[in-house]
């Protein structure tokens, strides 16, 4: 039977590229999304990948959805926590709702999803958890106190969970992408984007496929000795 991979936010942008790459690699992929039914249905039709709608910020929804996936296809082998949103603004203009939304969707979601699969992975002695953080969780970013905090949280979450699971055959890693050419970045005003590209030594935005390749590598058996790592993929913009 095919290995099962769940990709949150797997129908658009970086997540869509991850879903496609894992699908090409022979995984049974379930691509989750939140609300954009049209994009999800197009994606499913075009690529023959199953899509499933639920809010990763809602624990019960994660529990219900993962239980139904496991009942249908068997245990989840690979969990990719990719879903994320931005609600940008300077701190003094950030509302509690903007803070809450970003922390819940980007960080609490990692807890929700991993919590629902971790017992099974521990019992089976195998599993891969790959989280998507951001360069801005490493270096901070003006106008993104909420997002930087959430993504820095994802990095800490990854390290602690990796330590807890290291002797159980489970690896937990995080990728910190730089600026990638997706809808999320298209929302940035062009003048700001031009100045960001000017700060990227390779001189361009990254592609979603470039992040998907890293996920595919981390999901593979050959990556079994890599755990608790933060892999930066940012065109040389920030070296840590
Ligand atoms: P996009 O906005 O292009 O896609 C986001 C995906 O996440 C969509 O499929 C969306 O579903 C889904 N999603 C959003 N909220 C939820 C939710 N509550 N529950 C389930 N799914 C949800 O984002 P990107 O591809 O650009 O980003 C993917 C990840 O990479 C994010 O975590 C982001 O923070 C991170 N990242 C992105 C960078 C970039 O430059 N693009 C740089 C660094 C990190 P729907 O289609 O229904 O809206």
Q: Which residues contact 88 (CB under 8 A, 6 or more apart)?
A: 143, 144, 147
Asked if the structure places residue 227 within a domain, the reply is yes
Q: How many CB atoms sit inside 10 A of residue 223's CB?
A: 17
- pLDDT of 13 reads 97
Query: 182: Cβ below 6 Å to ligand 1?
Result: yes
pLDDT exceeding 90 applies to what percent of the chain?
96
Catalytic residues: 147
- Banded model confidence at residue 100, pLDDT cuts 50, 70, 90: very high
- Banded model confidence at residue 186, pLDDT cuts 50, 70, 90: confident
- The H or E element that residue 99 is part of is helix 96-103
Domain ranges, residue 184: 4-233
CA–CA separation, 216 and 21 (whole Å): 7
Q: How many CB atoms sit inside 10 A of residue 58's CB?
A: 15
Query: 179: Cβ below 6 Å to ligand 1?
Result: yes
CA 37 centroid distance within chain: 19
- pLDDT of 224 reads 98
- pLDDT of 97 reads 98
List pLDDT tens digits, range 22-35: 999 999 999 999 99
- Banded model confidence at residue 185, pLDDT cuts 50, 70, 90: confident
- pLDDT of 184 reads 86
List pLDDT tens digits, range 154-177: 999 999 999 999 999 999 999 999
Inter-residue contact 50 to 63 (CB < 8 Å): no
CA–CA separation, 178 and 70 (whole Å): 33
Atom index in ligand 1 nearest the CA of residue 83 equals: 7
List pLDDT tens digits, range 124-137: 999 999 999 999 99
- The closest of 205, 100, 112, 121 to 166, measured between CA atoms, is 121
Asked if the structure places residue 238 within a domain, the reply is no
Asked if the structure places residue 120 within a domain, the reply is yes
Average pLDDT, the chain: 97
Given the DSSP bridges, would you call strands 76-81 and 4-7 parallel, antiparallel or unpaired? parallel
List pLDDT tens digits, range 64-92: 999 999 999 999 999 999 999 999 999 99
Which one of 30, 109, 184 would you pick to mutate in the ligand 1 pocket, going by the greatest count of ligand atoms within 8 A of its CB? 184
Q: How far away, in angstroms, is 236 Cα from ligand 1 center?
A: 22
* Mean of pLDDT values over 169-195: 93
- Banded model confidence at residue 21, pLDDT cuts 50, 70, 90: very high
Asked if the structure places residue 155 within a domain, the reply is yes
CA–CA separation, 160 and 162 (whole Å): 5
Inter-residue contact 67 to 117 (CB < 8 Å): no
Q: Is the pLDDT of residue 98 over 90?
A: yes
Residue 32: strand pairing partners: 52
Asked if the structure places residue 240 within a domain, the reply is no
Q: Which CATH number do you get for residue 13?
A: 3.40.50.720
CA–CA separation, 153 and 146 (whole Å): 11
Q: What's the domain count of the chain? A: 1
List pLDDT tens digits, range 31-64: 999 999 999 999 999 999 999 999 999 999 999 9
CA–CA separation, 162 and 55 (whole Å): 25
């Amino acid at each position: 039977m095919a290995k099962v991979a769940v990709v949150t936010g797997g129908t658009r942008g970086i997540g869509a590229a991850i879903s496609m790459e894992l699908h090409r690699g022979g995984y049974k992929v379930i691509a989750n999304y939140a609300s954009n039914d049209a994009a999800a249905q197009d994606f499913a039709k075009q690529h023959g990948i199953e899509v499933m709608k639920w809010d990763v910020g809602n624990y019960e929804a994660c529990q219900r959805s993962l239980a139904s996936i496991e009942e249908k296809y068997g245990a989840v082998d690979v969990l990719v926590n990719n879903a994320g949103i931005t609600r940008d603004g300077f701190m003094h203009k950030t509302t509690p709702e903007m803070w809450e939304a970003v922390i819940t969707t980007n960080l609490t979601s990692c807890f929700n999803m991993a919590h629902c699969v971790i017992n099974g992975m521990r019992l089976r002695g195998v599993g891969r958890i790959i989280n998507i953080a951001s360069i801005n969780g490493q270096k901070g970013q003006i106008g993104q106190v909420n997002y930087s905090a959430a993504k820095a949280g994802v990095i800490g979450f990854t390290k602690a969970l990796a330590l807890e699971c290291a002797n159980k055959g489970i690896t937990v890693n995080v990728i910190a992408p730089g600026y990638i050419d997706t809808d999320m970045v298209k929302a940035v005003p062009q003048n700001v984007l031009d100045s960001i590209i000017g700060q990227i030594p390779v001189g361009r935005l990254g592609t979603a496929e470039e992040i998907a390749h890293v996920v595919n590598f981390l999901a593979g058996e050959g990556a079994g000795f890599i755990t608790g790592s933060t892999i930066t993929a940012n065109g040389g913009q920030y070296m840590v």
